[in-house]
């Protein structure tokens, strides 16, 4: 069995804690590797090493740092297939999904090539008599990223790219469920020219997270995960004087108006609801058709599409629509929520509870589920399921449908499908959700815009990637400057002549 490592000072380092977590192959249910769980002492040693390496890296001019990002992009493209295979083997998502995971992270690295421009300050000439005023952006020092299992390439790249391009050193604590790809990314960054010690990858659990939160050296923390953990990290990190951004759970609604193209809406719901087995914070998990006639048409379109979905291991190639969920515990939780939906009175239109894949009986596969007549007091509506389960909540009017999205505690993403521009514009202006799709089911912004939700989906003032990332990972320093031009007398300035 493979024993994974940490990445410290530019090399693989075995853990010394004696504690390990199992890394599964979700398709077979077998343990394929063990990952060490770092102690506070191991984490602190890596932080001290990063702090020492950051001094020179932070003094490196932005153009040279950008060249490392340029080379890193080339290497990511070169090793795309290798990275995708490793990602799928530990996470379970299909190879096309894995490549999409890497690609969306790679696009943020491409954006970071613009660091010399993004780090420019401002200048005011003659702000006063003989006075100039200017600002500069400087790195924070050592920062940390705590990243989730569902995007083991994309989210680490979203964190490390801007942080490193700004001149910081980073401690990356990836998910212990699928840690291989972050370690591979560290190797590629070293090959791209990143100095040893500037990026440290420390595997661990809550002990490592708490050590990050309490470290006096780490200046900022970026986190993606569940809302309860996001609230914990945000509260403890801020209490310790750190800059913190935390992104939590989601319950993304898609409103379908009577004038929508039903085939387009149904295709969008299937892709957004069941892709990657629903393990996406931007997955659409609630369909809100307006009017019973719209709902009946939508269900009629959805059922055959869902029943045709192919579920299987990533090794089956393009013949598979989605793979297993990440762990047996995740599967158990999803099916438990499905049972609660049935018990609480929702109509289970497509039942995937008895799904079984021959030859992969021990794998963590979950069949697709479709509920109708879901109400807002049900667990399947209130909670983020993070699985291949789509709930249909029927609305009598547009205002009622809008209210469902606005009243839910999560506010990550939402979408509306309609042919009416006034309705779409009103929806975009009024809904209290961070990312909006208009006839687009998963409205993930491109790398040069920012990604972030509202309400209990996000904690902190600044979003991920785009210009916000460069603001988050730097401090602004403003300088007011005056150079006296007094008249020299006997080799000395006559300051009185300036009065």
Task: Say if residues 108 and 465 touch (Cβ distance below 8 Å).
Answer: yes
Contacts of 65 (CB under 8 A, 6+ apart): 57, 115, 164, 165, 167
Q: Quick one: which of 232, 225, 303, 234 has its CA closest to 262? A: 303
Q: Tell me, rounded to whole angstroms, the distance of Cα 437 from its chain centroid.
A: 18
User: How crowded is residue 157: how many other Cβ atoms within 10 Å of its Cβ?
Assistant: 30
pLDDT digits (tens, 9 = 90+) for 386-397: 999 999 999 999
Q: Quick one: which of 100, 102, 97, 109 has its CA closest to 73? A: 109
Both structure tokens of 351: 């039942």
With H, G, I as helix, E, B as strand and everything else as coil, classify residue 82.
helix
Q: Tell me, rounded to whole angstroms, the distance of Cα 75 from its chain centroid.
A: 22
**Residue 105, exposed/middle/buried by CB under 10 A (0-12, 13-18, 19+)?**
buried
Q: How far is CA 394 from CA 251, 254, 373, in A?
A: 16, 11, 6
**Residue 440, exposed/middle/buried by CB under 10 A (0-12, 13-18, 19+)?**
middle
What is the CB-side half-sphere exposure of residue 96 using CA atoms within 13 A?
10
Task: Say if residues 105 and 157 touch (Cβ distance below 8 Å).
Answer: yes
With H, G, I as helix, E, B as strand and everything else as coil, classify residue 408.
coil
Contacts of 37 (CB under 8 A, 6+ apart): 15, 17, 19, 20, 21, 176, 203, 204, 205, 207, 208
The CA angle 421-426-431, to the nearest 5 degrees, is: 135
Tokens 């040893």, residue located: 196
Task: Say if residues 185 and 199 touch (Cβ distance below 8 Å).
Answer: no
pLDDT at 497: 43
DSSP-derived letter for residue 311 is: B
User: What b/e string do you get for 308-346 counting C-beta neighbours within 10 Å, with b at 16 or more?
Assistant: ebebbbbeeeeebbbbbbbbeebbebbbebbeebeeeeb
With H, G, I as helix, E, B as strand and everything else as coil, classify residue 476.
strand
Q: How far is CA 363 from CA 29, 356, 433, 448, in A?
A: 5, 9, 36, 38
pLDDT digits (tens, 9 = 90+) for 26-71: 999 999 999 999 999 999 999 999 999 999 999 999 999 999 999 9
3-state secondary structure 320-370: CCECCCCCHHHHHHHHHHHHHHHHCCCEEEECCCCCCCCCCCCCCCCCCEE
User: What b/e string do you get for 270-280 counting C-beta neighbours within 10 Å, with b at 16 or more?
Assistant: bebbbbbbbbb
- What CATH number matches the domain at 2-248+466-480, 3.40.605.10, 3.40.50.720, 2.60.120.40, 3.30.460.80? 3.40.605.10
Hey, what CATH topology would domain 252-438 get? Aldehyde Dehydrogenase; Chain A, domain 2 (3.40.309)
Residue spans per domain, the chain: 2-248+466-480, 252-438
What is the per-residue DSSP string for 216-247? SSEEEEEEES-HHHHHHHHHHHHHTT-EEEEE
Rounded to whole angstroms, how far apart are CA atoms 211 and 41?
9
DSSP-derived letter for residue 439 is: S
Q: What's the maximum distance between 2 C-alpha atoms anywhere in the chain?
A: 97
Active site residues: 281
Rounded to whole angstroms, how far apart are CA atoms 413 and 98?
22
For the chain, which ranges sit under pLDDT 50?
487, 495, 497-499
**Residue 302, exposed/middle/buried by CB under 10 A (0-12, 13-18, 19+)?**
buried
User: What crossing angle do the helices spanning 227-239 and 206-214 adopt, rounded to 10°?
Assistant: 30
Task: Say if residues 410 and 383 touch (Cβ distance below 8 Å).
Answer: no
């Amino acid at each position: 069995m493979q024993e994974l490592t940490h990445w410290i000072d530019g090399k693989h380092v075995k853990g010394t804690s004696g504690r390990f977590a199992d890394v599964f192959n979700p398709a077979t249910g077998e343990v394929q590797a063990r990952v060490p769980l770092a102690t506070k002492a191991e984490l602190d040693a890596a932080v001290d090493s990063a702090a020492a390496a950051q001094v020179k890296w932070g003094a490196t001019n932005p153009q040279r740092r950008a060249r490392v990002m340029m080379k890193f992009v080339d290497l990511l493209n070169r090793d795309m297939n290798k990275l995708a295979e490793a990602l799928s083997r530990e996470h379970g998502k299909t190879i096309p999904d894995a490549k999409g995971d890497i690609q969306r992270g790679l696009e943020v690295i491409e954006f970071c090539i613009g660091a010399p421009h993004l780090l420019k300050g401002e200048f005011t000439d003659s702000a006063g008599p003989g006075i100039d005023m200017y600002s500069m952006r400087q790195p924070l020092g050592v920062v940390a990223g705590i990243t989730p299992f569902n995007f083991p390439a994309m989210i680490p790249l979203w964190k490390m790219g801007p942080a490193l391009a700004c001149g910081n050193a980073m401690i990356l604590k990836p998910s212990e469920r699928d840690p291989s790809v972050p370690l591979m990314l560290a190797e590629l960054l070293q090959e791209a020219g990143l100095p040893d010690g500037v990026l440290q990858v420390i595997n661990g659990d809550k002990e490592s997270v708490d050590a990050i939160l309490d470290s006096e050296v780490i200046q900022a923390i970026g986190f993606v995960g569940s809302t309860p953990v996001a609230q914990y990290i945000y509260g403890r990190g801020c209490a310790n004087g750190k800059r913190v951004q935390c992104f939590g759970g989601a319950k993304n609604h898609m409103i379908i108006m009577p004038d929508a193209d039903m085939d387009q809406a149904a295709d969008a719901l299937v892709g957004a609801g069941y892709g990657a087995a629903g393990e996406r914070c931007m997955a659409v998990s609630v369909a809100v058709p307006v009017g019973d006639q719209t709902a009946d048409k939508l269900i009629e379109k959805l059922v055959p599409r869902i029943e045709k979905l192919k579920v299987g291991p990533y090794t089956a190639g393009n013949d598979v629509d989605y793979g297993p969920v990440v762990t047996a515990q995740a599967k158990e939780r999803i099916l438990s929520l499905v049972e609660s939906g049935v018990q609480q009175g929702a109509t289970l239109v497509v039942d995937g509870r008895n799904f079984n894949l021959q030859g992969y009986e021990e794998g963590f596969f979950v069949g697709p589920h479709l509920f109708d007549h879901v109400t807002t007091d049900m667990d399947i509506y209130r909670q983020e399921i993070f699985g291949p389960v789509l709930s249909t909540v029927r609305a009598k009017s547009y205002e009622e449908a809008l209210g469902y999205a606005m009243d839910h505690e999560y506010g990550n993403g939402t979408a509306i499908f309609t042919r009416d521009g006034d309705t779409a514009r009103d929806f975009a202006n009024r809904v209290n959700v961070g990312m909006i799709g208009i006839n687009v089911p998963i409205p993930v912004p491109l790398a040069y815009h920012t990604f972030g939700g509202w309400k209990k989906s996000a904690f902190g003032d600044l979003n991920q990637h785009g210009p916000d990332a460069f603001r988050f990972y730097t401090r602004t320093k403003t300088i007011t400057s005056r150079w006296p031009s007094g008249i020299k007398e006997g080799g000395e300035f006559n300051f009185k002549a300036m009065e």
